[in-house]
Every structure is written in structure tokens, then in C-alpha cells.
Amino acid sequence: MSLLFSPYKLRSLTLRNRIVVSPMCQYSGEDGFANDWHLVHLGTRATGGAALVIQEATAVTPEGRISPQDLGIWKDEHIDKLKSITGFIHSQGAVAGIQLAHAGRKASTARPWEGGKQLNTAMGGWTSVAPSAIPFYENDIAPEALSETAIEELIQAFGDAASRALKAGYKLVEIHAAHGYLIHEFLSPLSNQRTDQWGGSFENRTRFLLRIVDAVRKVWPDELPLFVRISATDWVEGGWDLESSVKLAAILKEKDVDLVDCSSGGLAPNAIIPAGPGYQVGFAETIRKEAGIATGAVGIIVTAAQAEAILEEGKADLIFMARELLRNPYFPLEAAQQLGDEIEWPAQYARARRPLK
């Protein structure tokens, strides 16, 4: 059997293969509530053969949404619909995960297909928050700098969200500390210019994330895994970089984080990112080798052969896929045939099973 379709153990869980549905915002909820779009979107990827289906960035507070249509898990009323989603994913042999997030200064924007611009309060938006009152775009309304009390409340909000995620049936939590959102804003010296215990030194800038990890682990069962997604570099001189990511990853391992999901960028609009097939895989490889923690590779991974080579060369432990699974939710079924592996198909689709020509 190929490595891509070999099982992978995470604490009490065993993933049926190494393909992960990366969290992808759908901008299709209302007041944080999931609906049938999310059920079908996520459920289809489970029937398509992926091992782990991670729900999109799900806000831990209303102000933590990227857009007014983002999903949320800041109140108990959100749980019922989420239960139907996790139940279906698990019925298909996949594992349901959730990404817990706060958008920070990149919150309160229109959906991408509606322009993606910042929304003011008259347009249905709200005042965003950040470590420092520095806007993402120069002409944006500046966010409010968080008080120490507000920081403590947000740490608790992540813990409370993890408790709700457990009640909703998720078996894995990923903390979103990437792509220029709130936790990443604390990590990077480009966006964090605080002079108190939450800014300045590496130890201070990582404090917010590490406290959130502690808050989540306090309520998240020991037998269930915890991931953290990071941007391994800001792609800007003087910003967060790979060396800092390796150092952070080693600390996360000590705090019982099971895997670092290695993405990049998103913090600085002027970053020049050399995007191309597998352009972020090197980050996963370096962090895996130097920090001694499992990693996930993500970023323009589009073929079975490419994914298999990443695993064979020891560059990552799991393959996170996004846009390719939007194009083809049944990619895993096809990839298995391409690699010569026999995997289980949904019984309802068995009549379509045949070798690829």
C-alpha cells in the first residue's frame, strides 16, 4: 500500500489515510449558524474518501468572524446543526475536525464574491480588534488594541469553544494561528507593537497562542488530538520567520500539540509569495525535522504522485488539500486507483468503481 493510503494514528484515533480536507471558508452562514450547505460540502468530502475533514475557520466570538456569514461556535445554540454534520462525517468513516479562529484586524469584511472589502458599522460590520491599532490595509479603519482584560476573555473564549466542539461531536481541534488573523497578529512583530507582557520578545509574542493551547487542552480530552495551523513565514523582512516557527513548534510539542499544519503568509498585504506546486512543503519538512513534531503539508498539492512523494521523502506526515478537493471531492477515490491501492468506496457508488484508463 502507498504511504498516502496507509493508516495514521493520532492518540485514540486512526485515520484511514493521510488525506486531510483543509479548512475552507464558505461564507454561507447566518449569525454563525451552519446550514445544509455546510452539511453537503463537508459530507461530500467524507464520502469522497478523505480521512479527516476539518471544518472552516469557526469564530469563537461574533467579532472574530472574517465576514458576517462565517460560521461560529460562540454560543450553545450553534451545537445542534453541527452535530448533524459531525454525525454524517463519522458515518462515512472519516473524522470530523474543527478549526477554531478569530480574525482579528482582518474581521468585518464582505464575502470574496461581494468584493471582500472592509465593512463599517453602517454596512453591517463591526469594529475589529488586534494586538495593536495597526490596520491590515493602510486605508482601513484601524482596529482597537486589545486590553489585557479583553485578551484574557478571548483566551477563555477559545476554551469555551473547544468545550462546545466536543459536545457537537468533533474529534479533533485545530487552532488557527496563521494567515494574518488574530493569533498570527500577536506572533508577528509587524503587527504586534505592544510593550506589555503580550508584545516585544518572542516569549511575549507567543504567550497568547500558548495560553490558548493551555485553555483548549484543559477541556479537550487527552485521547483526542490537537493541531495548530501556523504561517511559517510572513514572507516579509523583519516579520515572523521559519526560525521562529521551528522554535514555536518545539514548545507546542511540549504542550501536547500533536501536529503543526504548515501554511504561510497572510499577515502583510505587500508580501511577495512565490506560489507554485508544493511551495510550502519545505516549511513542513524543516519543522518536522528540527522541532521533532508531526507536520501537515499544504499548498498547491494537486496529484496523487506529488502527495505520495512528499510522504515518501519524509517531508510531512499528513497531506492537507483545499482547492483540489473543491474541484474534485472524490480525489481520494481516484488517487487510490492511480497508486494501485484498494480502498473502500461508499456502497451507493460501488457500481462506478473501475480501474482508471
CA distances from 47 to 42, 126, 134, 155, 317 (A): 9, 38, 43, 35, 22
Options 181, 279, 330, 349, the catalytic residue: 181
Task: Give the per-residue pLDDT at 39.
Answer: 98
Q: Which residues of 236-269 are buried (b: 16+ CB within 10 A; e: fewer)?
A: beebbebebbbebbebbbeeebbbbbbbbbbbbe
User: Which residues of the chain carry a pLDDT beneath 50?
Assistant: none
Across the chain, what does the average pLDDT equal? 97
pLDDT at 354: 75
Q: How much is the pLDDT for 221? A: 98
Query: In which residue are the cell numbers 481541534 written?
Result: 173
What integer pLDDT is reported at residue 355 of this predicted model? 65
Domains of the chain: 8-352 (3.20.20.70)
Using the Cα atoms of residue 238, residue 252, residue 25 and residue 78 in order, give the sign of their dihedral.
Answer: negative
What is the H or E stretch that residue 15 is in?
A: strand 13-15
- Cα separation, 198 vs 192, whole angstroms: 8
pTM of the model: 0.97
* pLDDT computed for residue 356 by the predictor: 58
C-alpha 79/C-alpha 160 separation (Å) is: 12
Q: What is the pLDDT of residues 238-287, one digit of tens each?
A: 999 999 999 999 999 999 999 999 999 999 999 999 999 999 999 999 99
Instruction: Confirm whether 137 is a catalytic residue.
Output: no
Residue 353 pLDDT = 86
The H-or-E segment that residue 297 falls in is strand 294-298
How many whole angstroms separate alpha carbon 104 and alpha carbon 127?
Answer: 10
Q: Phi and psi at residue 117, in whole multiples of 5°?
A: -80, 160
Q: In this structure, what are the phi and psi dihedrals at residue 342, rounded to the nearest 5 degrees? A: -100, 115
